[in-house]
Structure 1
Amino acid sequence: MTKQKTVLVTGATGLLGKQVLQLLVTQDYKIYAVKRTYSIIPLESEKINWVLINSFEDNLFEQIPIAIDFVIHAAALVSYKKSDKEKIFQINTRWTTKFAQHASEARVEKFIFISSISALAKNSKDNLIDETTPKSEKEFLSNYGKSKRKAEEKLWELSKNGLPILIFNPSVIIGPAKRYQSSAQLFGYVSDQKPFYTKGVINYIDVRDVANIIVGSLENKIVNEQFVLNAGSISYRDFFKAIAKQLNVRAPYVGVPKFMVIFGAIIENIVSKLSGKPATLTMETARMAGNDKIFNVEKSNNIFNPRYKNLDHSIEWTVKEMQKKGEL
């Protein structure tokens, strides 16, 4: 009889982690999912064993009674607020490194790390970015992007010492989440009928497509590789229009240059402090506005042959699910 394989999932209560769990429970895996004590369990299943993490110093492998074959490390702090810098590096870099070291000691078969396109180098003359684009000291990286890039560097070091790694860099992941989390902030922005949009494009992928590729990668022979995941790109104006159509509200209609976006970030952060509501626009997101980079996914498409979901369908699904939870 073939031994049942075990999977350990971090970030299991987040946008991507929840979707990964929904796929795993349909397959023959013994699943261990990590959550903080205050996090709500998103999926009840007898196949899922929940593991509580109280400190980033914890060795999760010591809390699990059997050996772990595969790790999907999707936990991260996605924030572009300057005040979150220390927490961003604590979670995304230092904890990832320590967790990967523990995984190496536990001799896992594969350690899958969910990074981000924010970590990729941007020094491309033709605006096409892929896994091999050279880095430049002059390129702008958010603290989130820096934290993810540093984590990648640490993982490559560990891979040289025997940890089999697989790194995915997804673009903006579209899917239902809380209003002020991840890409859901963009849906909230349109829902609030804000008038402004900036030039540039958004690179996107449906969360279900990302989950399919991750889970499908568990038992293949691919290790010590890195893949950009991206379904397509669209102007912010048209992206907001598509969301507005589903919400039946007016789309942002005033195009603004980058310097105006930065000015808007200053104003919004003042309003945020006065109102107590999180700011959708921060100085870091303002500096990223006007992006015209396109992400080349030839490498991942050749290996995984994904059938990406249509953007309109992704937006429709996301809106309906967020409306059900009262987030829109």
Structure 2
Amino acid sequence: MIFVTGGSGLVGSFLIAELIARGESVRALYRGENTPQIPGADQVEWVSGDLRDALGLRVALAGVTHVFHCAGLVSYAPQDETALQQINVEGTANVVDACLERPGIRLGYVSSVAALGSKPGEQPTGTVQLDESAKWDLGAEHNAYATSKYLAELEVWRGIAEGLQAVAVNPSVILGPADWNRSSTRLFRYVYNQHAFYTPGNINVVDVRDVVDMLVRLTLDTTISGERYVLSAQAIPLHEFLGQAAACFRRKAPTVAVPEWAAETIWRFEHVRSVLTGARPLITKDTARAGRHPVEYSALKVQRVLGQSFRPVANTIAWCCEELMAKKQPTKQVA
């Protein structure tokens, strides 16, 4: 029996489909009143619950041999800092504790490249190369999301120190045909709605199918423990990414680069608006500055271990566009 958290999310939904295709028995955690409507949902034993419910997680792990912890909150909005701590950090601690109570369970944890930090003494000039050896700089400024993923990873390492068999993957921006308004799919929605502006810089991306395949192989097909693996196919200029998606959609690509001073001004106005109205900011300090100092994540380690390469980004973009177009088209709104 395999237990999956975040089964309705981008990674979780593709993971469940892969596990079912392998003939595995799957139990999955979900929140809300209705069970998630994903491919293979009728073959899943769904458990209504919350990562913050430590007792509920212990009960849910009865008879389980493997756990895939995919659930987590991705947000750069200031008002979500408490939720990031509760869901990403405390939630992961609860998953680890529940696993430790049942010796023999093996954990596959979906972290993020955000948890890597930076190389000691690395200066933000030129392209920064990062891999699994990067160390978290406690003296540096980190956004709340990155901090929550770093602290969540510490909980996994704590579990490993206490005897848990676990492996972690650190994906970059995961591309897949999820809901138009969720996850990285909002990038495709932005292109489809033909917005004119883009921010200069690079974006590191990886196909959700590669993330799932490598996560499953590392967790189910190996006995590796105490290791983490960067999963990233390529660092691509954001303008190029948006242009490729626009071509696939046959829409007009963004053409106006937002200068640094404008982005700095906009996020400040958005912060004030958010404080005064309680609405979520359309752009935050972290998103405005993302990509300003180019970073490229190296995934050579996982490719050496599994002997597997990543799908070309152009193929992933084309696949996402085709699958999204087969779904209900997005409403016109600000990304």
With the length of structure 2 as denominator, give the TM-score of the two structures: 0.88
Task: Report what 2:311 is aligned to.
Answer: 309
Task: Report what 2:8 is aligned to.
Answer: 13
Task: Please tell me whether residue 113 in structure 1 is matched to residue 113 in structure 2.
Answer: no
Range moving further from structure 2, 44-53 or 182-191: 44-53
Amino acid at match of 1:101: D
1:201–1:235 Cα contact (<8 Å) kept: yes
Shift of 1:148: 0.5
Q: For residues 147 and 54 of structure 1, what CA distance do their matches in structure 2 show? A: 18
Amino acid at match of 2:14: Q
Task: Report what 1:171 is aligned to.
Answer: 172
Shift of 1:260: 2.0
Task: Please tell me whether residue 48 in structure 1 is matched to residue 44 in structure 2.
Answer: yes
Task: Report what 1:148 is aligned to.
Answer: 149
| Percent of paired sites with the same residue | 28
Aligned residues: 323
Amino acid at match of 1:178: D
Q: What secondary structure does 1:182 align onto?
A: coil
Cα distance, 1:111–1:306 mapped onto 2, change above 3 Å:
same
Amino acid at match of 1:203: N
C-alpha offsets along residues 214-265 of structure 1, whole Å, 9 cap, x if unaligned? Answer: 1112231111111111111110110110111112222111223333223233
1:169–1:227 Cα contact (<8 Å) kept: yes
2:197–2:254 Cα contact (<8 Å) kept: yes
Q: CA RMSD in A?
A: 2.4
Task: Report what 1:101 is aligned to.
Answer: 97
Shift of 1:273: 9.4
C-alpha offsets along residues 247-305 of structure 1, whole Å, 9 cap, x if unaligned? Answer: 22221112233332232334566788999986553222113242401111111110122
Task: Report what 1:188 is aligned to.
Answer: 189
Gaps of 5+ in 1: 1-5
Range moving further from structure 2, 250-259 or 161-170: 250-259
Amino acid at match of 1:219: D
Task: Please tell me whether residue 23 in structure 1 is matched to residue 24 in structure 2.
Answer: no
Task: Report what 2:259 is aligned to.
Answer: 257
Q: What secondary structure does 2:21 align onto?
A: coil
Task: Report what 2:212 is aligned to.
Answer: 211
Task: Report what 1:122 is aligned to.
Answer: 118
Cα distance, 1:84–1:72 mapped onto 2, change above 3 Å:
same
Q: For residues 52 and 64 of structure 2, what CA distance do their matches in structure 1 show? A: 19
Q: What secondary structure does 1:59 align onto?
A: helix
Q: What secondary structure does 2:25 align onto?
A: strand
Q: What secondary structure does 2:261 align onto?
A: helix
Cα distance, 1:276–1:95 mapped onto 2, change above 3 Å:
closer
Gaps of 5+ in 2: 331-335
Range moving further from structure 2, 195-204 or 112-121: 195-204
Q: For residues 280 and 321 of structure 1, what CA distance do their matches in structure 2 show? A: 26
2:174–2:207 Cα contact (<8 Å) kept: yes
Amino acid at match of 1:177: A
Q: For residues 275 and 325 of structure 2, what CA distance do their matches in structure 1 show? A: 27
Range moving further from structure 2, 276-285 or 184-193: 276-285
Task: Please tell me whether residue 134 in structure 1 is matched to residue 129 in structure 2.
Answer: no
Which of 282, 289, 292 is 1:290 aligned to?
292
Task: Please tell me whether residue 84 in structure 1 is matched to residue 86 in structure 2.
Answer: no
Q: For residues 290 and 210 of structure 1, what CA distance do their matches in structure 2 show? A: 26
Shift of 1:94: 0.5
Cα distance, 1:134–1:211 mapped onto 2, change above 3 Å:
same
Task: Report what 1:3 is aligned to.
Answer: none
Q: What secondary structure does 1:194 align onto?
A: coil
Q: For residues 207 and 237 of structure 1, what CA distance do their matches in structure 2 show? A: 21
Amino acid at match of 1:244: A
Shift of 1:327: 4.5
Q: What secondary structure does 2:8 align onto?
A: coil
Which of 66, 73, 80 is 2:69 aligned to?
73
